[in-house]
Amino acid sequence: MRILHVVSSLNVGGAERFVIDLATEQKENLNCDVTVLSMGQQGEPLESEVNKFGIKLLHATKITTIRHILEATDIVHVHSSYCLLRILLAALFKPVKVVYTRHNERVHKSFKWRVIYLLAKLTIHKMIFVAEKARTNYLKIYPSFEHKSQTILNGVLPMSLTKERSDYFRLSHVGRFVPLKAQHYLIEAVALLPKDTQKKILLSFFGTGELIENNKVLAKKIIPDVKIDFKGFVTNRDEIYQHTDVLVVTSETEGLSLAILEALASGTPTIASDVGGNPELVQHGYNGLLYDYGDAKTLAKYINDVFNNAELYQEFSEKSLEIFKDGFSMKKCAQCYNLIYQL
């Protein structure tokens, strides 16, 4: 089977990492001929990951070029709304199956998107959602897609379970510095912790983006005594989670967070905003904690609870790993997609 995965770029992001993991599993264990097509710039950070796993990589944005690429493709699997229209047009009258995975829960409602989805209804083989809540919200607006839609929970490849030793309690945030990720709420929450606790915290941010300087200024202003590290792009996930005790997710919206999946796979407890697919990964009080989006006061309380309770931390860690093994391995995810491709 010849599969073409299409992404908007190979910058560091959850959907992009997921595509690389899925392509790797399909290539190595399902014996598929897999290629990644990026509509971004050459030389972006995750290209090295694609190359490391020996996955073929192409760059193209022109519809005529994409049509030529599709001549050697059985399945074109789109992972970005940015790419969807060009793929739909390129696939017209081509004997390929188009599968579209929506990696977030926001529903496009503008006239432009209603036209695109009308074309999609005629062209796509299946529309996949990574969280059932996202599928439900979408079908409220576009009920005609019900028979073409399905939920497949994302997976990740196994990760290291080793934690490097540290004198600090290490809180990490993984994600781009864009408005919907709302990293400032984590900074505000840490500012509400007791001063003695703040001095024992190491706060790490993995990612870059338009709002990084705003967050640096805020941190310097309200938590001057907290040790903070803005790491920028880090492509080695084991490096992230070996130096993370608790993952904190502050997003306004999420599909099925790859950062949380990685935390599960590495046995790292998570404190997350109660949005999108987060409750499908974090069971409150079982393997982590959920708080209302934007509620820095409750977030601070939960950080303090885990910081002061070693038994609770260990329980969350063990349960996180169990949840990953039971339902979120990339092997299981790839098999689900393989069934979709063959329908």
Helix (H, G, I), strand (E, B) or coil at 189: helix
Per-residue confidence (pLDDT) for residue 202, from 0 to 100: 98
Question: Is 169-327 assigned to CATH 3.40.50.2000?
Answer: yes
What average pLDDT score do residues 164-172 get? Answer: 96
Residue type at 121 in one-letter notation: K
Return the HEC string of 21-75: HHHHHHHHHCCCEEEEEECCCCCCCCHHHHHHCCCEEEECCCHHHHHHHHCCCCE
pLDDT at position 80 over 90: yes
Per-residue confidence (pLDDT) for residue 35, from 0 to 100: 98
Per-residue confidence (pLDDT) for residue 234, from 0 to 100: 87
Q: Which of 249, 278, 258, 324 is nearest to 22 (CA)?
A: 258
- In the chain, residues under CATH classification 3.40.50.2000 are 2-155+329-342, 169-327
How many CB atoms sit inside 10 A of residue 284's CB?
14
- Class of 2-155+329-342 per CATH? alpha beta
d(Cα 282, Cα 190) in Å, to the nearest integer?
21
Q: Which of 252, 171, 246 is nearest to 204 (CA)?
A: 171
What sign does the CA torsion over 321, 327, 332, 337 have? negative
Dihedral angle over CA of 29, 337, 55, 21, nearest 10? -80
Q: Kindly write down the DSSP assignment for every residue of 234-256, as one continuous string.
A: ---HHHHHHT-SEEEE--S--SS
What average pLDDT score do residues 156-185 get? Answer: 94
Considering the chain, what percentage of its residues have pLDDT values greater than 70? 100
Q: Kindly write down the DSSP assignment for every residue of 125-154, as one continuous string.
A: SEEEESSHHHHHHHHHH-GGGGGGEEE---
φ, ψ at 213 (rounded to 5°): -65, -40
Per-residue confidence (pLDDT) for residue 133, from 0 to 100: 86
Per-residue confidence (pLDDT) for residue 23, from 0 to 100: 96
How many CB atoms sit inside 10 A of residue 146's CB?
12
Helix (H, G, I), strand (E, B) or coil at 266: coil
pLDDT level of residue 245 (50, 70, 90 thresholds) = very high
Per-residue confidence (pLDDT) for residue 131, from 0 to 100: 86
Give me the residue label for tokens 């972006």. 44
Per-residue confidence (pLDDT) for residue 233, from 0 to 100: 85
pLDDT digits (tens, 9 = 90+) for 106-142: 899 999 999 999 999 999 999 999 988 889 999 999 9
Per-residue confidence (pLDDT) for residue 241, from 0 to 100: 97
d(Cα 137, Cα 255) in Å, to the nearest integer?
12
Summary mean pLDDT of the chain: 95
What average pLDDT score do residues 90-117 get? Answer: 94
Per-residue confidence (pLDDT) for residue 255, from 0 to 100: 83
pLDDT at position 105 over 90: no
